[in-house]
Amino acid sequence: MGGEWLKNLCGSSLDDETMQKIAHPALELGTHVTIKTVQSFGLLGTVLVGPVVAVARAETRNWSGLQHNMTRAGRGGLILGLFAGPLLTYLKVRNETDGYKIWDRCYRLRYNRGQVRVDQASIVGAATGAAVAYGTASAGGAMFGGLVGMSTGILLAAVYNNM
């Protein structure tokens, strides 16, 4: 993986020769799948499961109950994604005898600006949300702010990619 992957994630313009230098394609693919599962499960926990659980119980039908359930479900989604990503990658590549398929997939992912944009937006959104929530001493805390920021970044990047 290394510097080329990080430069691409940060938005640097890389030439084709540099994009082809994939040092550890299985690790890069595993990282990509893990990031996507963390984003997916964290988003679902934060914006779907948490609010549904909060509304289902009369005692949590308030702002603090909503924040608590969104944070709890979102954090659970993040943790689940951290374990599911490597497992899903392993299940996909365990029978791959030809390393070219994995390399090709990583090469195409590096050129997929939409995927890179979603990753960038989720990282910036999570960091911004956590910093704002921490800096304002929000009742939900930095974890709540980070989850909401990550979810917002993912959704905004998805809308931008589809325009």
In whole angstroms, give the CA distance from residue 150 to residue 155: 9
DSSP string over 46-106: IIIIHHHHHHHSGGG-SHHHHHHHHHHHHHHHHHHHHHHHHHHHHHHHTT---HHHHHHHH
pLDDT tens figures, 13-65: 888 888 888 788 888 899 999 999 999 999 999 999 999 999 999 998 998 89
Mean pLDDT of the region 118-139: 85
For tokens 């589809």, the residue is: 162
Q: Is the pLDDT of residue 71 over 90?
A: yes
The whole-chain average pLDDT of the chain stands at 89
Residue range 83-97, pLDDT digits in tens:
999 999 999 888 887
Q: Give the whole-number percent of the chain exceeding pLDDT 70.
A: 96
Report how far residue 35's alpha carbon sits from residue 31's, in angstroms, rounded to the nearest whole number.
6
Q: Which two tokens stand for residue 57?
A: 């119980």
This prediction has a pTM of 0.88
Write down the pLDDT at residue 93: 87
Q: How many residues does the chain have?
A: 163
Give, in order, the Cα–Cα distances in Å from 16 to each of 21, 22, 71, 143.
Answer: 9, 11, 41, 38
pLDDT interval class at 139 (50, 70, 90): low
**Residue 95 three-state SS:** coil
Q: CA–CA distance from 70 to each of 40, 78, 136, 142, 143 (Å)?
A: 14, 12, 19, 13, 10
pLDDT at 158 over 90: yes
Residue 83, pLDDT score: 96
* Phi, psi dihedral angles at 70 (to 5 degrees): -65, -40
